[in-house]
Structure 1
């Protein structure tokens, strides 16, 4: 099966530092840039979550801007799951 020629991969990278109001978008892009963002994340053992719905919303956030309050719950669920995973509490990734 050949990949869809009309599909363009997209990616958004978030960062959160103690004291920040919310996570912020530190990188985003499509095509080769998206592939590079994902490759760098994997090189550094950073979890790559796949959700087209969440990706579509995050792509609308300006670079270096905090995520909007409407996305807090979704991102919090992913971060909580990652924390549990690091603590050895393995369960399925959230469906966000």
Structure 2
């Protein structure tokens, strides 16, 4: 079963939050929107399983901060490399 979860984080937020999640058709739509807006997509089944327990609009719990920090650092690096290569 195809699943997707979208996270959002801004500096003024206490923690990242789940902004969208779904299976099958909804997952496809989430991925299409990410592609359309040039939002990086990462496939990580373990992380997906952990985040699937969080409801939309809820913040990521403290026990996941470490893994989410690694994810955002990875995405920041991708973005930074993309900017410097232009």
Structure 1 length-normalised TM: 0.80
Deviations 1:46-84 (A, max 9, x none): 011101111011111011000011111111111112222
Between the two structures, name the one with larger relative contact order (CA 8 Å, sep ≥ 6).
Answer: 2
Larger radius of gyration: 1
Any runs of at least 4 consecutive aligned residues in structure 1 with deviations exceeding 3 A, and if so which? none
- Report which stretch shifted further, 80-89 or 12-21: 80-89
Q: 1:46 aligns with which of 33, 39, 52?
A: 39
Q: 2:22 aligns with which of 29, 36, 49?
A: 29
Answer 1 or 2: which has greater helix percent: 2
Number of equivalences: 82
Structure 2 length-normalised TM: 0.88
Unaligned runs of 5+ residues in structure 1 are 1-7, 90-96
Unaligned runs of 5+ residues in structure 2 are none
